[in-house]
Amino acid sequence: MSPSRFDDRITADPDSAWPVEAGRYRLVASRACPFASRAVVSRRLLGLEDAISLAVVDPIQDDRGWNFGLGPGGRDPVLGYRYLSEAYLAADADYDGGFSVPAMVDVATRRLVTNDFGVMTLDLATQWTALARPGAPDLYPEPLRAEIDELNEVVFRDVNAGVYEAGMATTQEAYSRAYDALFARLDALEERLRTRRYLVGDTITEADIRLFTSLVRFDAVYHGHFRCNRSKLTEMPALWAYARDLFQTPGFGDTVDFDHIKRHYHLVLDEGNPHHIVPGGPDLSGWLTPHGREALGGRPFGDGTPPGPPPGAEAVPPRGRAA
């Protein structure tokens, strides 16, 4: 994945260029994108819905990139834009790169502040605490940060980015290298999760969010469409149970839209799919089956509490849910 071009940070320092402020920023995200979905999950777990508004883009991009076609009249009702690219160009009129999500946009100026997905969720967990809900979990606990960072680095390289390297490879050598690294890492994670409920410590952390958003897409798109087909997620017992555990935890599965995921990957990232066929499977009902991970102990939210239901306007439509 390419580095983020816009990497300003929104911080708790009131004198910073972009200080934390309720209602000032709008998170633009795609429910199809695993990197944007990290920010959506973090925002839900921390209860920042009232502090940071959410714009969900259409999963189908055109030649101008992500668009607000789901909004009234095809525009975002807060920013007034038809395309996310407009916020990028408001920040830099000469910018000629990609227009990625997640993107944090300053509502007053309608300009992009940051698209740095690697830092954005860490800042949500550490800089926005004054505006988080009562009972919000600590997703990046200081004593565990070195271990979380180390694990995040290899999971990003081999899994989060690795599936794309395999799926978009143009040589057998590049594909094989990514494929081998992906499944070596998944095997290591499978072994790690046999005896522990969460990746680091005994509560949900940033590490779990980053792995989950790739796992939840694995059988639906990566296994077939990206040729990551040694094993399905459902064939890796510990990882499959772990993924179901998180999916059934408030703040995770209630942000997942399988309809957006499948349509985006098969209709936009469509090399090898010239007729634009969206497959009917896989069967999603397994996501709601018992996982048995409670036997490993752990406290999902530590000393905190689960988030409440998502705001009505942010609920995933029925066609996108596991049932």
Catalytic residue set: 33, 164
Say if residues 117 and 4 touch (Cβ distance below 8 Å): yes
Cβ-based burial of 246 (10 A; exposed 0-12, middle 13-18, buried ≥19): buried
Contacts 24+ apart (CB under 8 A), 178-183: 179/227, 179/228, 179/230, 181/157, 182/158, 182/228, 183/228, 183/230, 183/231
Place of tokens 């694990």: 151
CB 138 within 8 A of CB 42: no
User: With helix as H, strand as E and coil as C, how does 167-233 read?
Assistant: HCCCCHHHHHHHHHHHHHHHHHHHHHCCCCCCCCCCCCCHHHHHHHHHHCCHHHHHHHHCCCCCCCH
Q: Are 83 and 56 in contact (CB under 8 A)?
A: no
Q: Please, which contacts does 216-219 make with residues 24 or more away whose CB atoms are closer than 8 Å?
A: 216/243, 216/247, 216/253, 216/256, 216/261, 217/34, 217/163, 217/261, 217/265, 218/163, 219/282
Hey, CA dihedral for 12, 51, 106, 125, is it positive or negative? positive
d(CA 91, CA 81): 14
